[in-house]
């Protein structure tokens, strides 16, 4: 940013009093503009033994398959955002269960946090939204692994397929590191204990 959103004076980069990081500051009205990580929220929609995937109509990773997800909007909860993205990108209506939170990814190198929820399709009806070229239901053997758009999507699907036979879906948190050689590594940091349910 070049000019203050409040008074239109030029912005300077400096460390504000009492802070330890360089911020966008306005020396005229003393505003400080903080930049913080963004939340990306999405679902892993499933119907019977199949998983819903969307083929991306936008960059990055145009033409690759992904789970419906996008940036949270102000004024909505993470789950509301995930359900909204599912409707927008896949034209799908989902049923949410009370153990729906599934994976959380910290991506400090790109300042994002991803959250995925498990979500059952109410009916096997869907259609590609503006950001999707195509939407489909895939059984385990049909998943286009070499065409998956993002490691966070791949990891979420892999754990879902691993958890499904046990019928137990712990919440897991991962740290994702982007290497200088463009490699991406995903590390499991935390996993909830199995529920005490019978
Ligand atoms: Zn200002």
What pLDDT digit, counting tens, does each position of 12-44 carry? 999 999 999 999 999 999 999 999 999 999 999
Q: How far apart (Å, rounded) are the C-alpha atoms in residues 190 and 53?
A: 26
22/42 same-domain check:
no
Ligand 1 centre from 23 Cα, in Å? 13
pLDDT band at 143 (very low <50, low <70, confident <90, very high): very high
Tokens linked to 116: 């995925």
Q: Is 49 helix (H, G, I), strand (E, B) or coil?
A: coil
14/92 same-domain check:
no
> What's the pLDDT at 75?
98
Tell me whether residue 196 is in a domain. no
CA 148 to chain centre: 14
Ligand 1 centre from 13 Cα, in Å? 13
Write the pLDDT tens digit of every residue in 166-187.
999 999 999 999 998 989 999 9
Q: How far apart (Å, rounded) are the C-alpha atoms in residues 12 and 41?
A: 33
117/168 same-domain check:
yes
pTM: 0.91
CA 118 to chain centre: 12
Ligand 1 centre from 32 Cα, in Å? 8
Average pLDDT (130-141) is 97
> What's the pLDDT at 99?
93
Domain around 181:
38-191
Ligand 1 centre from 17 Cα, in Å? 16
Q: Is the peptide bond before 60 cis (omega within 30 degrees of 0)?
A: yes
No. of H helices and E strands in the chain? Answer: 2, 13
Domains contained in the chain, number: 2
Identify the CATH number of the domain in which residue 17 sits: 2.20.70.10
User: Quick check: 1 and 23 in contact, CB under 8 A?
Assistant: no
The total of other beta-carbon atoms located within 10 Å of residue 103's CB is: 25
42/93 same-domain check:
yes
> What's the pLDDT at 193?
86
Ligand 1 centre from 114 Cα, in Å? 33
Write the pLDDT tens digit of every residue in 48-90.
999 999 999 999 999 999 999 999 999 999 999 999 999 999 9
Ligand 1 centre from 31 Cα, in Å? 6
Ligand 1 centre from 35 Cα, in Å? 16
Ligand 1 centre from 25 Cα, in Å? 8
Ligand 1 centre from 2 Cα, in Å? 11
Write the pLDDT tens digit of every residue in 81-122.
999 999 999 999 999 999 999 999 999 999 999 999 999 999
Q: How far apart (Å, rounded) are the C-alpha atoms in residues 4 and 33?
A: 9
pLDDT band at 1 (very low <50, low <70, confident <90, very high): confident
């Amino acid at each position: 940013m070049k000019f203050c959103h409040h008074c239109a004076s030029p912005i300077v980069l400096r460390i504000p009093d009492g802070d330890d990081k360089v911020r966008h500051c306005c020396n005229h009205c003393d505003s400080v503009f903080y930049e913080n990580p963004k939340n990306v929220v999405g679902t892993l929609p499933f119907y019977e033994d199949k998983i819903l995937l969307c083929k991306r109509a936008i960059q990055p990773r145009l033409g690759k398959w992904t789970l419906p997800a996008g940036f949270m909007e102000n004024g909505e909860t993470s789950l509301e955002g995930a359900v909204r993205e599912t409707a927008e990108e896949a034209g799908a209506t989902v049923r949410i269960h009370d153990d729906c939170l599934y994976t959380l990814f910290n991506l400090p190198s790109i300042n994002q946090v991803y959250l995925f929820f498990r979500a059952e399709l109410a009916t096997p009806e869907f259609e590609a939204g503006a950001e999707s070229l195509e939407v489909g239901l895939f059984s385990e053997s049909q998943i286009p692994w070499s065409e998956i758009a993002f490691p966070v999507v791949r990891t979420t699907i892999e754990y879902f397929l691993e958890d499904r036979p046990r019928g137990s879906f712990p919440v897991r948190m991962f740290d994702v590191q982007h290497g200088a050689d463009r490699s991406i590594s995903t590390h499991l940091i935390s996993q909830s204990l199995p529920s005490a349910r019978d």
